Chain A
Amino acid sequence: MLSATSGGRGSGLGFAMPAILLLLAFFVIPVAFLLMRSVTEPAPGLQNYATLLGSTTYAKIFFNTFFVAGVVTAITVLIAFPVAWALAIMPARWSAVIFAVILLSMWTNLLARTYAWMVLLQQTGLINRMLKAIGLIDQPLQLTNNLIGVTIGMVYIMLPFMILPLLGVIRKIDPAILQAAALCGATRAQALRRVLLPLAGPGLASGGLMVFVMSLGYFVTPSLLGGTANMMLAELIAQQVQSLVNWGMGGAAAFVLLVVTLGLYAVQLRFFDQAEAR
């Protein structure tokens, strides 16, 4: 036992080596090159960053990116929490079926799912025709090529990433604690706010961060379901690199996105560690 522990650290690193090498070769080094290009192209210096952070157009794209990611995360949490809670308390057989459905949707091709939403949401699509048929609307609603389309499409795609971590923590919560709260006179709302939510905190935090960070860098869904007025950072990067062949600017935008993401992750790590320690 003792020898296993003492050798543990070294062999653990050994096991991690393939992953570390893979990341080094295919992530760290390319990112370093990209960073270099962002300060050397078209000329050495920080002009790319100055342009990126100084222009109102790009400021709007940054705002869009965080705004969309924020909205998507908030709505995802609101939907995922009751689902995770229901999954945790329903009979195991049922929860297994619903769980499988959630996973299945996650494994379906992203592009196919996004196209499906396009067909559902467009003005002549199923949703608008249904609403018209039951007399709720006269004119079709504009559900794609705008923020609504992006939000619907992305929330749907992000839900499993929120439900899974939430389910993990909620399943670990002893139902007796809630009974105890009720016995002590807590109303349902109080039990939710003062007992359940704090206990589910780590799951909310890790799921929320994952959804937020994934949303920040999302490309396919905003590009297909959104309009250019809600352009996000990933689309800007694609545009700069693929269409304008401006690696310098694309690299700068990618690097800013990376720094923001790592920063958020650092904040969450601290918060999460403290929550664990409690």
Chain B
Amino acid sequence: MKKTMFALAVASALTAHAAMAEDMVFTSWGGTTQDAQAANWAQPFTEKTGTGVMQDGPTDYGKIKAMVEAGAVTWDVVDAEFDWALQAGKQGLLEPLDFTVIDKAKLDPRFVSDYAVGSFYYSFVLGWNPANFSDAQPATLADLFDTTKFPGKRTFYKWSAPGVIEAALLADGVAPDALYPLDLDRAFAKLDTIKSDIIWWEGGAQSQQLLASGEAPIGFFWNGRLAALQADGMRVGISWDQNITAADALVVPKGTAHKDAAMKFIAQATSAEGQAAFAAATGYAPVNLGSADLMDPAVRATLPDAQTAVQVNADMAYWAEHRDEIGNRWYAWQAQ
């Protein structure tokens, strides 16, 4: 009885393996972003190479670490936050990327490292619902922290990540080139001044809901989510003044069985065409420097890479170095 069971288990494992040998797995955050990744990266990749791409998600760092340590990696390419990717590369959780397959000469050097290349980059921008402000409209990050001039709840990204801390410091008058190393005491002191007015958003859809309903008439958003609201016909105020860039990264967890396919997939995803098509679909900026020429100028004008003059780059290397320290303090502060 036991033997039959074992044989059955082995047989099913083998057939499962045979069926999957052709396919690879791409993991991202779900929602419209992953839909666009599936349509603009995975589909052309499958047409070109014959390798199927199964979509999984959401990205979960705890899971990646557990998979790598257990030697049972089922995610071949993962869309992760760039600062995490840098940290994970150092911790040995990722495969080094094969730059004979991925053409890094064409990629924005801000988003290239040994273990990760940009997936796309985005900006945190000040957004508001004009229906809630009759007179003056908000314009700067200082306005975001000014509850006298612009009363009401404000919404910020809940998780510890580049963006909100930088915004607090900029609003407090720190010059963009003097942001790093981050003065956390000062940042939290600034955040304390509006703490009771903050509603945290956990995901893009929630941020849109909060703004559209007027629950939080002003906040700090991923630019693509505001673009999507505008595309739906909603009137949304956006200020690009001191928009703060952060990026997602494409990484390959260490020990994947489909390393070659993974590298080819990343090459396809970061190609000028792949990046241009994805950017047009999502409102996020391409990391391939050749993409701009392929895009409709009207669409390009709405993307973060048209706003470099007023842009502040979050320092991913700094964050990778201090991720845990900032994270612990961030969550402790939130819970207080």
A contacts, CB < 8 Å to B: 55, 57, 60-61, 118, 122-125, 144-145, 223-224, 227-229, 231, 236, 239, 241-247, 250
Q: Which of B62, B66, B213 contacts A122 (CB 8 A)?
A: B213
A17 CB to closest chain B CB (Å) equals 12
- Asked if B44 is at the interface (CB within 8 A of a chain A CB), the reply is no
Evaluate whether A246 and B331 lie within 8 angstroms (CB atoms) in the complex, with A123-B215, A124-B214, A227-B200 already known. Answer: no
Neighbouring A residues of B15 by C-beta, 8 Å: none
Q: Which of B199, B213, B331 contacts A227 (CB 8 A)?
A: B199
Q: Which has the most chain B C-beta neighbours within 10 Å: A61, A145, A239, A244?
A: A244
Neighbouring A residues of B215 by C-beta, 8 Å: 122-124, 144
Shortest Cβ distance from A123 into B: residue: B215
| A5 CA to B158 CA, complexed, in Å | 59
A33 CB to closest chain B CB (Å) equals 9
Tell whether, in the assembled complex, residue B213 and residue A245 are in contact, meaning their CB atoms are under 8 Å apart.
no
Evaluate whether A241 and B62 lie within 8 angstroms (CB atoms) in the complex, with A122-B215, A227-B199 already known. Answer: yes
Tell whether, in the assembled complex, residue B336 and residue A57 are in contact, meaning their CB atoms are under 8 Å apart.
yes
- Asked if B202 is at the interface (CB within 8 A of a chain A CB), the reply is yes
Tell whether, in the assembled complex, residue B65 and residue A57 are in contact, meaning their CB atoms are under 8 Å apart.
no
A262 CB to closest chain B CB (Å) equals 24
Tell whether, in the assembled complex, residue B213 and residue A246 are in contact, meaning their CB atoms are under 8 Å apart.
no
Tell whether, in the assembled complex, residue B327 and residue A243 are in contact, meaning their CB atoms are under 8 Å apart.
yes
| A118 CA to B332 CA, complexed, in Å | 25
Q: B252-278 toward A: CB 8 Å interface, digit per residue (1/0)?
A: 000000000000000000000000000
- Asked if B230 is at the interface (CB within 8 A of a chain A CB), the reply is no
Tell whether, in the assembled complex, residue A60 and residue B335 are in contact, meaning their CB atoms are under 8 Å apart.
yes
Q: B170-203 toward A: CB 8 Å interface, digit per residue (1/0)?
A: 0000000000000000000000000000011010
Q: List 13 A-B residue pairs with CB atoms under 8 Å apart, sorted by A's residue number.
A: A55-B332, A124-B213, A144-B215, A227-B199, A231-B334, A236-B335, A241-B62, A242-B62, A243-B331, A244-B323, A244-B324, A245-B62, A246-B324
Tell whether, in the assembled complex, residue B159 and residue A243 are in contact, meaning their CB atoms are under 8 Å apart.
yes
Q: Which of B61, B65, B199, B213 contacts A243 (CB 8 A)?
A: B61
| A122 CA to B217 CA, complexed, in Å | 13
Neighbouring A residues of B158 by C-beta, 8 Å: 228
Tell whether, in the assembled complex, residue A242 and residue B61 are in contact, meaning their CB atoms are under 8 Å apart.
yes
| A24 CA to B214 CA, complexed, in Å | 49
- Asked if B49 is at the interface (CB within 8 A of a chain A CB), the reply is no
Tell whether, in the assembled complex, residue B335 and residue A57 are in contact, meaning their CB atoms are under 8 Å apart.
yes
- Asked if B22 is at the interface (CB within 8 A of a chain A CB), the reply is no
Tell whether, in the assembled complex, residue A247 and residue B327 are in contact, meaning their CB atoms are under 8 Å apart.
no
Shortest Cβ distance from B87 into A: residue: A245
Q: Which of A123, A144, A229, A245 contacts B65 (CB 8 A)?
A: A245
Shortest Cβ distance from B91 into A: residue: A245
| A122 CA to B202 CA, complexed, in Å | 16
Neighbouring B residues of A118 by C-beta, 8 Å: 209
| A227 CA to B215 CA, complexed, in Å | 14
| A210 CA to B331 CA, complexed, in Å | 29
Evaluate whether A250 and B202 lie within 8 angstroms (CB atoms) in the complex, with A122-B213, A244-B324 already known. Answer: no
Neighbouring A residues of B148 by C-beta, 8 Å: none
A263 CB to closest chain B CB (Å) equals 24
Shortest Cβ distance from A55 into B: residue: B332
Evaluate whether A245 and B331 lie within 8 angstroms (CB atoms) in the complex, with A123-B214, A228-B200 already known. Answer: no
| A250 CA to B62 CA, complexed, in Å | 10
Neighbouring A residues of B332 by C-beta, 8 Å: 55, 57
Neighbouring A residues of B159 by C-beta, 8 Å: 243
Tell whether, in the assembled complex, residue A245 and residue B202 are in contact, meaning their CB atoms are under 8 Å apart.
no
- Asked if B134 is at the interface (CB within 8 A of a chain A CB), the reply is no
Tell whether, in the assembled complex, residue B61 and residue A145 are in contact, meaning their CB atoms are under 8 Å apart.
no
Neighbouring B residues of A243 by C-beta, 8 Å: 61, 159-160, 327, 331
Tell whether, in the assembled complex, residue A228 and residue B324 are in contact, meaning their CB atoms are under 8 Å apart.
no
| A243 CA to B87 CA, complexed, in Å | 13
| A224 CA to B215 CA, complexed, in Å | 14
| A122 CA to B159 CA, complexed, in Å | 22
A147 CB to closest chain B CB (Å) equals 14
Neighbouring B residues of A236 by C-beta, 8 Å: 331, 335
Tell whether, in the assembled complex, residue B65 and residue A247 are in contact, meaning their CB atoms are under 8 Å apart.
yes
New A-B contacts (4) at CB < 8 Å, excluding given A244-B328, A245-B62: A124-B214, A243-B159, A243-B331, A244-B324
Shortest Cβ distance from A115 into B: residue: B209
| A231 CA to B314 CA, complexed, in Å | 28
Q: B306-336 toward A: CB 8 Å interface, digit per residue (1/0)?
A: 0000000000000000011001100110111
Neighbouring B residues of A241 by C-beta, 8 Å: 62
Neighbouring A residues of B209 by C-beta, 8 Å: 118
Nearest 10 CB-CB pairings of A with B: A228-B334, A241-B62, A57-B332, A245-B61, A122-B215, A231-B335, A244-B327, A124-B213, A242-B62, A124-B214
| A246 CA to B159 CA, complexed, in Å | 15
Interface residues of B in 141-159 (CB under 8 A from A): 153, 158-159
